[in-house]
């Protein structure tokens, strides 16, 4: 059985490759340096951080990074279906 790469790790790596270091660092802190009570709490905070950086990702990121952003957003929406509605 083939496993899919973690969409959050992929997004962080892609942001760093595109020179969006501040965005990558922020998401990396949420993923790897913060203790969460629940997975849903993590997904909510990660999704909110993604929402705050949407504008810079749209204007400065490569097509691959935009695809990684969409993939991570899809994972967030499993717990928070309306997260990227607005």
In this prediction, residue 86 carries a pLDDT of 56
Q: How far apart are CA 42 and CA 48, in angstroms?
A: 10
What digits encode the pLDDT tens for the residues 8-22? 999 999 999 999 999
| Residue 85 domain-assigned (yes or no) | no
| Residue 1 domain-assigned (yes or no) | no
State both tokens at 32.
């790897």
In this prediction, residue 71 carries a pLDDT of 96
| Residue 2 domain-assigned (yes or no) | no
| Residue 84 domain-assigned (yes or no) | no
In this prediction, residue 3 carries a pLDDT of 81
Is the model more confident about 22 or about 85?
22
Q: Determine the Cα angle at 61 with ends 60 and 65, to 5°.
A: 170
Count the domains in the chain.
1
| Residue 26 domain-assigned (yes or no) | yes
CA dihedral 26, 58, 74, 13 (to 10 degrees): -50
The domain of 54 spans 7-79
CA distance to 4, 42, per residue, from 1 (Å): 10, 27
Task: Judge whether residue 2 has pLDDT over 90.
Answer: no
In this prediction, residue 1 carries a pLDDT of 65
């Amino acid at each position: 059985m083939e496993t899919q790469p973690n969409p959050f790790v992929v997004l962080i790596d892609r942001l760093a490759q595109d020179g969006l270091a501040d965005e990558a660092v922020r998401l990396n802190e949420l993923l790897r340096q913060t203790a969460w009570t629940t997975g849903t709490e993590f997904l909510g905070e990660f999704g909110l951080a993604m929402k705050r950086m949407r504008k810079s990702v749209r204007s400065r990121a490569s097509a691959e990074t935009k695809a990684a952003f969409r993939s991570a957003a899809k994972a967030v929406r499993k717990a928070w279906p309306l997260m990227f509605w607005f």
